[in-house]
Structure 1
């Protein structure tokens, strides 16, 4: 049976993703070409998840057929929630290629992918992070986050604590390194699958986003959850 990689990439267009396949030996080259050259006039492609599986040709066809109604005709682009696609891919029996297991375990990724379901409980709007961080000399860090249809976006011009603390997950550390941050200020929007990941990104350490993000009036996001 043919063995290869099925991958998912996000794009510069919010909500538009690419689902594709490649031979295992060609994976890195394929990612490099797509991330640098784009696909079908869509730029800003970034790898999000990849898994090596048996019968990868058939599995890719299965995915494309399953999401046919969300497909951009004649392409491998789909108007889909990337986290829900990842959740489906995690059900395949295979080897996780990206993110590396040491960066994010399969169990952690599953929790992150399913977090979007809880996000649907959060009313659309802008929420704020304002918290003193001890390791940062008790300096108060201020950030803002927009929620729209369950999509979590940390907005540019948010402050980011430059000092990472014990317990900051490798996957979050990597996001912080790849993000456009200058003088501790985020220079472009960053999309996250959970409010806690968004808070961890800002604080550089473990954070409960359901409590740390608040409305302008000071109401926590947790107050909107179904108990």
Structure 2
């Protein structure tokens, strides 16, 4: 076999592998009928350090509450080459915050952030069981994770744009497989940073039966009841004024305005992106600007309430 033919064959395999990996990422929620994830609770506390890994893969995630940072230093998994995430929730922001970084010694870097950054409460370190990450690998993953997080928009970024490292095409395919894994592990640990609310174009096929509407004086909003809560769709309208009796969700409403997640147009506010509320009543209360029972104020196209469809049918 000639050297030219060998090189062509290697390149063809690399391109196929990359294309196949990207295709699988797009279909990830449907590709698995079941995954075995191994959890280890360190030091016996379910609220302490946790280690998660998919049993058939080399990527592992170590969740570290900030007040457990000293104990985390006793774990070899935290001292290797990897990417890490700092998660926090500010009282002043409508979205949770995240910082995405990389380090050749993640634990040492976390100690630096402990001294310098106030916002975070929990860190998650992503490493491999066989120490295969190189500096170039983690620089690329840091950049890719940043870009994905920015596009999806669930979290407020607490950093500048990281530098993208050069990586050969066939290595990128392997890193995308690793990204698949860390995405699953983070979501399983409670951080759905890479889980899209709807698809990137906003055109995910949603059956008309699953869409609910909330209407008030001169406003209309639409949304969907999901596993996470109630998703109000982009371009939904929100009342410009609030009733004096509105107390419970007034702070959340004000955060949406201050963070630019809703923008005033004429006599109403317009939601700039899909937003997940923790409950149907939080969603309708913010939209209507008054106390609201979301189970009765959200109705389908035939006028049936969310309560009739989702609770009384069980």
Which has the larger helix fraction?
2
The normalised TM-score by structure 1 is 0.49
The normalised TM-score by structure 2 is 0.37
Structure with larger RCO (C-alpha < 8 A, sep 6+): 1
Rg bigger for which structure? 2
Which has the larger strand fraction?
1
